Amino acid sequence: MKIQTVLIDGFKNLSNVKIGFDNITALVALNNFGKSNVLMAIDFGLQYIKAAIEDKALMMANSKLIPINRHMLGRNYKFEMEVLTEFNKTEYRVLYGYEFTWKHDEGSEPHIHYEYLKMRPENKGQKYTQLIQRDTQKALYKSSETGRCSSKINVEQTELVVNKLRAYDEIFYADIIKKINSMKFYMENNLDAKSFYQPDPIIRKGLEDMPIDSESLPRVIYQLSRKRPDKFTLLKDIYRELFPEVEDIIAEQYKMEVIDHSQMPAEAPFIITNAIHVLYVKDKNLIHPINFEIMSDGAKRVFMILTRIILADEGNVSLIAIEEPENSVHPSLFQAYIQIIGQLLDTCKVIITSHSPYVVSYLEPAWIHVGVNRQPGVAEFFSFKKSGQRLLQQDADTFKMSMGDYLFSMLSDEESNWADYLECDADG
């Protein structure tokens, strides 16, 4: 599924944040504004869909996430996503969303207010077909391709209809239901990537293959080199574009003594393999390969991020978030880094966060969502108007400033007139 937009409301300090995704999308704001909260809210929304009923109830009672700002007190959590997906050899636009009440105190019970699922062919100008329609009184779904969305289904107060419909293999949109339940989001916020490069024979059960969130990158790269040599070659080639001193990347496997697994409890959440993996890099200036673990922090993080993007389609990952990518590479490399990421993306999208003015200079204004604080402590994000993109560049040139410096000077000025630039109303 190709994610197109996400709408979030009632999560921490976020107010009606709607993000439209390009291949690369950027959240730009002052430090400590709420950029990371947007990423957390997206992750929360997708995790909530997949969570068991009892876990959903716990998530709805998480006091660290409930809005406590006086301007947002009592607001429900809303999550909506718009995706493109192929269905019956036709591309469809799918709109799915839900809203629930947080458990504010012991006397309140969390419950889902509404849930909906709609779809329409992308290129035929047709209206949306309602597949799920649920409120506090009833839950309905469309049971046949020719019928209406009028079949009743019983769900718990904290259960989603899309969860219940996973067992309904006979409905004509069963494939869409399965895709919604399996969408994945990966958040890359490890500014120190050293631990991912250390040999580790311990593997969590169910993650034996090449998962995007594996904690042992050398093992993932070794498997990639054996199972998908084309992608391994691609990874090495693009990495050498950014770091031309690198001649080769080598993944090795070292067998250990056979481990007696009978001594491990059956319920243990991990297994111990009989091999460890080490990643080496061959540099033009060195006489022999060195362990990738001793490369610079930026070099290690860039390689890890590129690996995650290349593996995204393998792991059904729809969105990858990268916090502060400018901490990974030298400013002179950043533009090439962004271009390479954009070229690698297929069905997956990337969202980055930054509070650095220079990053803005390497991004298309259409990719950027600006964080504006129009009410104290409340975070809102808005995209640029087409006319606002031109105006921003013109005004920056007038003051002989870079576009990034000018944008952040406006963010620091409480009297900035954002309505001239962004898709927001003048009154706030």
**The three-state (H, E, C) secondary structure of 221-273, written as one string:** HHHHHHHCHHHHHHHHHHHHHHCCCEEEEEEEEEECCCCCHHHCCCCCCEEEC
Verify that 262 and 367 share a domain, yes or no.
no
The whole-angstrom separation of Cα 75 and Cα 83 is 26
Verify that 155 and 200 share a domain, yes or no.
no
Backbone angles phi, psi at 104, to 5 degrees: -80, -30
Verify that 160 and 207 share a domain, yes or no.
no
> Is 281 strand, coil or helix?
strand
Give 23's DSSP letter: S
The domain boundary, picked from 291, 314, 337, lies at 314
Alpha helices in 277-384, H assignment, sequence order: 297-311, 331-344, 357-360
380-405 residue pLDDT tens: 999 999 999 899 999 999 999 988 89
CB 160 within 8 A of CB 49: yes
Q: Mean pLDDT over residues 275-293, rounded?
A: 91
Q: Which residue has the higher pLDDT, 287 or 332?
A: 287
Residue tagged 């409905």 (tokens): 171
What predicted TM-score, i.e. pTM, was given to this entire model? 0.89
List the CATH number of the domain containing 138.
Answer: 3.40.50.300
Say yes or no to pLDDT of 270 above 70.
no
Say yes or no to pLDDT of 125 above 80.
no
Q: Which residue has the higher pLDDT, 93 or 109?
A: 93
Average pLDDT value for the chain:
88
pLDDT given at position 164: 96
332-349 residue pLDDT tens: 788 888 889 988 988 899
Verify that 42 and 130 share a domain, yes or no.
yes
CB 214 within 8 A of CB 220: yes
Verify that 72 and 132 share a domain, yes or no.
yes
Least confident of 216-220, 302-306, 378-382: 216-220
Closest CA to 135 of 109, 108, 161, 168: 161
Verify that 174 and 87 share a domain, yes or no.
yes
Residue tagged 């999208």 (tokens): 349
Q: How far is CA 357 from CA 36, 200, 416, in A?
A: 17, 39, 17
**Residues of 48-61 as b/e, b for ≥16 C-beta within 10 angstroms?**
bbbbeeeebbebbb
Verify that 205 and 267 share a domain, yes or no.
yes
> Count of domains in the chain?
2
Say yes or no to pLDDT of 372 above 70.
yes
Quick one: pLDDT band at residue 26, thresholds 50, 70, 90? very high
Q: By residue range, what is the domain housing residue 303?
A: 192-314
Verify that 71 and 87 share a domain, yes or no.
yes
The whole-angstrom separation of Cα 166 and Cα 177 is 6
Verify that 179 and 232 share a domain, yes or no.
no
